[in-house]
Amino acid sequence: MKTLLFYVLQVVLCSGILYGYYLLMLRNKKFHQYNRFYLLLVVLLSFIIPLLEFNIKPTELGGGVDSQMLQNIFIKSYKPSTANNLQQIGYWLVDNALLLLYVLMAAFLFIRLVKSVLQLFIIKNKYKAEKLQNVQLFRTNEPGTPFSFFNWLFWDNNIVMESDNGKQIFKHELYHIQQKHSWDIIAMELVCIVGWMNPFFHLIRKEQATIHEFLADRYAMQHQNKWDYAELLLLQALTHKQRLTHPFFNNQIKRRIAMITNVNKTSFLYVRKLLVLPMLLLVVAFFAINCTNSDAGKDKTTGKDTLQEITIKTVNVQPKDSVTEITIVDEKQIPPPPPPKVEEKQIPPPPPPIEERVKFIPPKGVKDKNGEEVPTVELKKFTPPKVVKDEEKTTEPEVYEKVEIEAAFPGGPKAWENFLRRNLNPNVPVDNGAPAGRYTTYVQFIVDKEGNASGFKPVTSLGFGMEKEVMRVIQKTTKWVPAVQNGIAVTAYRKQPITFIVGEEK
C-alpha cells in the first residue's frame, strides 16, 4: 500500500510540474494544436515517468573487494494470536479504507460517464439521421444543441443551416468531427476516472476542451469578420440560459472571444516550444534516476556500513494464518566465510648434484711404453636426467572468492524481489515450531562464466526447515549474470544470507 501511495504521489507531482509549465509558457497562446498534444503528452508521461528507474553507479577504482556485496532478505513471521474475527475485519477495513474510497469514487465517475453516453444514444434513436458525407446529421429540438459527438452532429431546428450564422456553426462542429476531438474527451474522462484523486488531471481535461473550441473557432471564422463571429458566440451564450447563467463572467466565452479578437503575436514562439525538452529531461532525472556511489549506505561519521531496508510486501491474511512481512536489506557488506582449504601440490625434491652420481673407480696398474704406471679413471655410463621445467604457478584460481562485480540475479533487485515473493514460503519456521527470535541462514553456490548456478550447499544449520526452504528456492533459479573480474566474466562463489524473524503478533 505504501508503494502504491508513493507512486500516486509521484504521478501528482509530475503532472503538476508539467501542467505548471503549460500555465507559465503555453496557455492562451495561438499554437493551439501544439498545446492540444502537449496536454495529452503530460497525462501519458505522468503515468510513465514514475515507473522509470535508471541506476547510475560509478565504477570503483582499484582491485577486488574484500567482502561480498550481498542482499540480505529479512522475513518476519508472526504467530497467529487469539484475536476474534471482528477484530481482524476491523484491521482489514482500516488498512484498506483508502482503497475502498478510491474504488467507490472511481465507480461513481464511471457510472456517470456511462449515463452520459446512454443519453446521447437515446437522442440519436429519437431522431432520423441524415447522411452528409461521413457525418450523420440529427435535426432535433433538444436543449443545448448544436453539438457533436464523434461523427454525430446534433442540430437545433431553430437555427437555419443555410444562413451565415448557421454556416459558421456548422463549420465549427464539422471541425470537431474531422479532428476527432471526441477521442480526446473520452480519453480524458477515463483518465479522470482512474486518477480522480489528482486535481491536475481535472484541470487538464477542462483546458483540453477549451483548446478544442479555440481550434474550431479559428477554422470557422476563416474568411469571416472576427467581430461578427465574436458576436455570434455571445448571442449563443445568451440564448441558452440554462447552461450559462452569467455569460459575461463565464471563463470559456470570455477566453474564446479574447482569443478571436487578439491580434498580438506570441513572443518567443519557438523558445516556448523548445524549452519543453530540457524541462522534460529535468523531470525524468528528478523522478527516475537513482545515483549511488562507493560511499552509499555508509555512515559519514564512522565510515561503517548502514542498512537500507526496503519493504517488499505485507500480507493481510485470515485470522488462522500468520502475518508475514518480507524486507530486503540493500547492498549490505557481509564478510565471506573462510575460503575452503586447498591441498598444496607435493613438489618432488631436486635431483642430487652430478658429482654424486659419478661412480669413481680406483686406478689400475696400467703401464705405458716406458713401463710407468698410468692412473686411469673409469666413469660409469651416465645418462643425463631430463630437464623438466617447473610449471608456472597460475595466479588465477578456478573459482574466485573475491571479484570486482558479484554475480547477480537477472533483472536486478526488483526481479529478485518478485522471484522471492512468488517462491519463498516465509512461514516455514512458524510451521515447524521455531521459537520467537532472529535466524540468519547462509547458502553458498557457484556461478560459472555462462551464468549457470551449481554447487548449492548451506553454510549454516539452524534447523526448523529454514535452510531446506532457502535451498529449495535458490535451486529454482536458472541463469545468473556472471561475476566480473578485470572486465572478464569469471566463475565465482555467491553467498546469499536470508534472515527469518519470528515474533508474537501484537
pLDDT of 132-144, one tens digit each? 888 999 999 888 7
Query: Does residue 9 sit within a domain?
Result: yes
Among 289-293, 351-355, 399-403, the range with the most confident prediction by mean pLDDT is: 399-403
Per-residue confidence at 470, pLDDT binned at 50, 70, 90? confident
Q: For residues 28 and 143, state if they share a domain.
A: yes
Q: For residues 11 and 146, state if they share a domain.
A: yes
Orientation angle between helical segments 32-48 and 199-220, nearest 10 degrees: 160
Out of 234, 262, 290, pick the residue that ends a domain.
290
Q: Which domain holds residue 200?
A: 2-68+99-290
Structure-block grid coordinates of residue 235 = 448571442
| pLDDT, position 504 | 61
Q: What is the pTM of this model?
A: 0.54
Among 254-258, 311-315, 428-432, the range with the most confident prediction by mean pLDDT is: 428-432
Among 4-8, 336-340, 385-389, the range with the most confident prediction by mean pLDDT is: 4-8
Q: For residues 404 and 489, state if they share a domain.
A: yes
pLDDT surpasses 50 at 305: no
Q: For residues 103 and 233, state if they share a domain.
A: yes
Structure-block grid coordinates of residue 322 = 500468520
**Is-cis flag, bond preceding 375, omega within 30?**
no
C-alpha distances out from residue 171 to 102, 147, 219, 222, 436, Å: 41, 12, 7, 10, 77
| pLDDT, position 36 | 93
Q: For residues 253 and 326, state if they share a domain.
A: no
- Torsion on CA atoms 140, 143, 145, 150, rounded to nearest 10: -80
Query: Does residue 320 sit within a domain?
Result: yes
Task: Give counts: helices (H), strands (E), the chain.
Answer: 14, 14
Query: Does residue 155 sit within a domain?
Result: yes
| pLDDT, position 248 | 35
Q: For residues 261 and 402, state if they share a domain.
A: no
Name the 3-class secondary structure at 311: strand
C-alpha distances out from residue 103 to 98, 99, 115, 188, 386, Å: 9, 6, 18, 18, 88
Query: Does residue 91 sit within a domain?
Result: no
Query: Does residue 50 sit within a domain?
Result: yes
Q: Pick the more confident residue, 335 or 285.
A: 285
Q: For residues 247 and 322, state if they share a domain.
A: no
The dihedral region occupied by 186, where left means phi > 0, alpha psi between -120 and 50, and beta the remainder, is: alpha
Q: For residues 186 and 276, state if they share a domain.
A: yes
Under 8 Å between Cβ of 481 and 451: yes
Beta-carbon-side half-sphere exposure of residue 433 (alpha carbons within 13 Å): 0
- The phi, psi pair for 419, rounded to 5°, reads -65, -45
| pLDDT, position 264 | 67
Domain count, the chain: 2
Least confident of 74-78, 122-126, 213-217, 374-378: 374-378
Q: For residues 332 and 263, state if they share a domain.
A: no
Residues 6+ apart with CB under 8 A from 99: 1
What is the pLDDT of the chain when averaged over all its residues? Answer: 74
Mean pLDDT along residues 146-158: 90
Identify any residues that bridge with 129 across adjacent strands, giving them in sequence order.
138
Mean pLDDT along residues 451-472: 88
Q: For residues 329 and 453, state if they share a domain.
A: yes
CATH of the domain at 448: 3.30.1150
Q: For residues 315 and 286, state if they share a domain.
A: no
pLDDT surpasses 50 at 232: yes
pLDDT surpasses 50 at 67: no
Query: Does residue 148 sit within a domain?
Result: yes
Name the 3-class secondary structure at 8: helix
Orientation angle between helical segments 2-21 and 32-48, nearest 10 degrees: 160
Q: For residues 423 and 285, state if they share a domain.
A: no
